[in-house]
Amino acid sequence: MTVKNVLSIAGSDPSGGAGIQADLKTMCAMGVYGMTAITAVTVQNTQAVYDVQEIDAGIVKGQIDAVYSDIRVDAVKIGMVSNAGIIGVIRDELLRFKAGNIVVDPVMVSKSGYHLLRREAMEAVHTLVAMADIVTPNIPEAELLCGFSIESESDVAKAAHKIAQSGAKNVLIKGGHRLGDNAGDWLLTKDRFIHIKAKRIDTKNTHGTGCTLSSAIASRLALGDTPEEAVRAAKDYITKAIQAAYDVGKGVGPVGHMTDLYKKAGMEAGV
């Protein structure tokens, strides 16, 4: 079987739990070959994001060109993009290379409250959403994309349809930010609105969940799954990864991306 290749266009997390580090670990676990184009270098750990150094848009373009000119790309995951210049370069390059299986994770604000997307770049994000085969906002991100508050499941449905009007083929609104036991997600496809149910797991260690889920979805699309199949497989993977989360650092620890490999090495994890 020919290996499938997935490109992550995202920021770097030195603590290893989120960003391209999480993406590469996830891609390895999903059985695909991971590649990266780095959009920003962050100063962060399990406790907070402290600073961000954006990569020059020309360098971001060069990284994407270098990959596409040499390697077949079967899917693309777009994560942290902080300014309109970088967003424009990504859009132009993916259109030029006729990219497919595009998953957009609209990372806007970190768990600690650090704004990872410049406010003036908000409109530009919609140009990436328009290219997405699947866009994966959490509820606060979905509220920013649709322009109204989400308080109920009917609001989720309205938000998903509003976001789909931007051009996204499928919209996955993640429910992890809702209170209560339900941590399910909602997927809007061309003809269905699906509630993917899941129980909330009692752990503080959820660093990188959004990055992990979106890169898992991109990996499954590369492997030939339909959007619904990819989302369900990725949801199963992230649920197990949260259950196998590691108590690394003093704050919000990372999920267990490579838990099966770690178990073979005799490492213990889990909640």
Domain ranges, ordered by start, for the chain? 5-264
Mean pLDDT to the nearest integer, 150-170: 93
**Lowest-pLDDT range, 47-51, 157-161, 167-171, 199-203?**
199-203
Confirm whether 209 is a catalytic residue: yes
Given a contact cutoff of 8 angstroms between Cβ atoms, the answer to whether 162 and 126 are in contact is: no
d(CA 259, CA 14): 20
pLDDT over 70 at 180, yes or no: no
Domain 5-264, CATH among 3.40.1190.20, 2.40.128.110, 3.40.50.1010, 1.10.1060.10: 3.40.1190.20
How much is the average pLDDT of 65-79? Answer: 98
β 33-44/5-12 pair status: parallel
**Active-site residue 174, yes or no?**
yes
Is 208 in the active site? yes
pLDDT of residue 178: 62
Mean pLDDT of the chain: 91
For residues 107 and 209, what is the distance between their CA atoms, to the nearest angstrom?
Answer: 12
pLDDT grade, residue 271 (50/70/90)? very low
| Active-site hit among 79, 208, 253, 256 | 208
Q: What pLDDT, on a 0 to 100 scale, did the predictor assign at position 108?
A: 77
Give the closest residue to 218 by CA, choosing from 130, 100, 114, 118: 100
Contact 160, 137 (CB under 8 A): no
User: What mean pLDDT comes out for the span 246-271?
Assistant: 79
Catalytic residue, chosen from 36, 46, 206, 212, is 206
Is residue 133 pLDDT above 90, yes or no?
A: yes
How large is the average pLDDT for residues 31-42? 97
169, 133 contact by CB (below 8 A): yes
